[in-house]
Amino acid sequence: MTRFPSAAPQPGSAPSRRRFLQIAGTTMLVSGAGVFSMTSARAGTGARLHVLHINDMHSRLEEISGSDATCSPTASAEGSCFGGAARLAQAIRDRRGALASDGMPVLTLDAGDQSQGTLFYTTYRGKAEIEIMNMIGFDAMTLGNHEFNNGPDSLAEMLAGADFPVVAGNVIVPEGHALAPFVRDQLILERGGERLGLLGITTPDTVFLSSPGPVGFADEIAHLNEAVARLKGDGVHRIILLSHVGFRRDQEIAARVKGLSLIIGGHSHTLLSNTVEGAPAYATMVAAPDGRPVPIVQAYAFSRYLGDLALEFDEAGAVIAAEGDTILLDATFPEAGDVAARVAALAGPIEDLKRTEIAEIAAPIDGSRESCRAMECEMGNAVADAMLARIGDPSVSIALTNGGGLRASLEAGTVTVGDVLTVLPFQNTLVTMQVPGAALVVALEHGVNAIEEGAGRFPQIAGMRFRLDTSVAPDAGRVSEVEVATEGGWQALDPDGIYGIVTNNFMARGGDGYAMLASDGHAVYDTAIDMADALAEYLAANAPFTPAIEGRIRQ
């Protein structure tokens, strides 16, 4: 059964939860049925468009579990899985077909980060994801930061197989580079006899979040002000932005760039929903500099949800009517047989590796984004402990890794190679170094200064502990009472002391903004030991493994 919002509110459906906003003469309503609706006095007179959208797929071509890891065969048989490429494909095809029968023009869009997260990306370097996108029939995508994980040359090979255009206008590719032919500054499409402008942006943080090499990234707002003016000069007034910069930045962009009609976001894995308690509204409305409302939408991540938005525009490109929500793709949604067959064929060569058993764990290990980017988390403790154990050198007594590098939880029971690689998919290696105590404090302070944004820099640690006070402003002393573990017990960290630490090669070179490790660390040594291997060995050595929270980060 396919459960999408209807094209119009159902008669007699008195909402149990209502939320009204007023921006530039529009009325917005969210009802208990969950469907967002916005109308103005001009509604019913403009051009219509329907947008289906996803973001941050992260190579989840197979079904996912409740913890966003690859779903087990048992859970699949029980009907407790979500998403996956085959289910997403059928949902999009069914919805497009229904809309086409009503004469509604449709766009199917992706806001980036198809790449990285499972063995599909590790094995095929993005080509499998692109092949599946071709089968589904996407109209366009923008680039996420993880598209650059294997460098721009590999990204060029990945995009060479795309049957759809890629738009990312603030991405600056050197002239003559292999990537240049595959990244467009803008697109002008025609739907329903109307011209639409499509822009795309990728977070400038990609320079330290990934491996873009010589590729640069312009400021998003400066680029968009110029790009919107250019499209309007060409007579294009309905302008959609595919954005991979995160929900908070999207709101800033909407408030500072004049002329955008709609922002379809990604990067922050934000679920906008009118049915999930506590979620920001779908759509979140922000007043542009000229006062007109700009809807912002985003659909979480990992193929769990499909964004479904109906729009009506006036002649100036402003949205005058809108309706929609994110749709949970649970097991009641059927799978597309051709896509399921292709995913199974692509999975064949890696199935033996994925099924290799490592260890038993006695209880689930929480590696969720919500936990590991905001507090001490079970997966952070396990991984940091594994890093120290694998090094096995008494002079290296502290482990520091970024919560954003932990990409999934593990459920109780048998853990396989595939499970561990889903948690740690980036093939990062362990790096040891000597670091002054003062630099470690700076690193911790940096790591906690963007909790509100869900930034991946949040530190997960072993061999040390500290107090975190989020009521203090960022970079103003959120971190205090830093102590290190010694044979004699916990001792206050000495700012003038030198400490042996193990981190990952991404952070060691300044990734996630940890420039202090690159500048102040010495005796740096890349062990070439894969973090996933270290975790696998640690779980096996401590089976049945029991996760724990130990007060390493006191809040």
Q: pLDDT grade, residue 21 (50/70/90)?
A: very low
Contact 196, 46 (CB under 8 A): no
Of 38-42, 188-192, 381-385, which range is least confident? 38-42
Q: Residue 33's pLDDT band (boundaries 50, 70, 90)? A: very low
Q: Give me the pLDDT at residue 28, please.
A: 56
To which H or E segment does residue 90 belong?
Answer: helix 85-101
Under 8 Å CB-to-CB from 481, ≥6 apart: which residues? 465, 466, 467, 492, 554
- Cβ-contact 94, 86 below 8 angstroms: no
The span from the CA of 294 to the CA of 486, in Å, is 55
Q: What are the tens digits of pLDDT across the range 414-453?
A: 999 999 998 998 878 899 999 999 999 999 999 999 999 9
Examine the pLDDT at 23 and tell me if it is beyond 60: no
Structure tokens at 239: 């302008």
Q: Of 371, 370, 368, 376, which is closest to residue 467 (Cα–Cα)?
A: 376
Mean pLDDT over 16-43 rounds to 54
Mean predicted confidence (pLDDT) in 114-137: 93
Mean pLDDT of 472-501: 97
Cα separations in angstroms, 198 against 187, 224, 267: 5, 11, 18
Q: What is the pLDDT of residue 17?
A: 32
φ and ψ of 420, to 5 deg:
-65, -40
How big is the chain, counted in residues?
555
188 neighbors 227 (Cβ within 8 angstroms): no
Domains of the chain: 22-344 (3.60.21.10), 357-554 (3.90.780.10)
pLDDT in tens, 141-183: 999 999 999 999 999 999 999 999 999 999 999 999 999 999 9
Q: How far apart are CA 286 and CA 265, in angstroms?
A: 14
pLDDT average, residue stretch 223-228:
98
More confident residue, 352 or 168: 168
Helix (H) or strand (E) holding 70: none
* Beta carbons of 470 and 389 less than 8 angstroms apart: no
Distances (CA, A) of 439 to 68, 94, 444, 519: 35, 55, 9, 9
Q: What percent of the chain has pLDDT over 70?
A: 92
Residue 362: enclosing H or E segment and its boundaries? none
Asked if the model's pLDDT at residue 214 lies above 90, the reply is: yes
- Summarised one tens digit per residue, pLDDT across range 285-334 is 999 999 999 999 999 999 999 999 999 999 999 999 889 999 999 999 99
Cα angle value 210/211/212 (rounded, 5°): 110
pLDDT at 1: 32
Q: How crowded is residue 390: how many other Cβ atoms within 10 Å of its Cβ? A: 22
Q: How confident is the model at residue 116 (pLDDT cuts 50, 70, 90)?
A: confident
Amino acid identity for residue 440 in this structure = L
Residue 25 has pLDDT above 60, yes or no: no
Residue 531's identity, in one-letter code, is: M
514 versus 68: which is more confidently predicted?
514
- Give the sign of the dihedral formed by CA 34, CA 40, CA 42, CA 46: negative
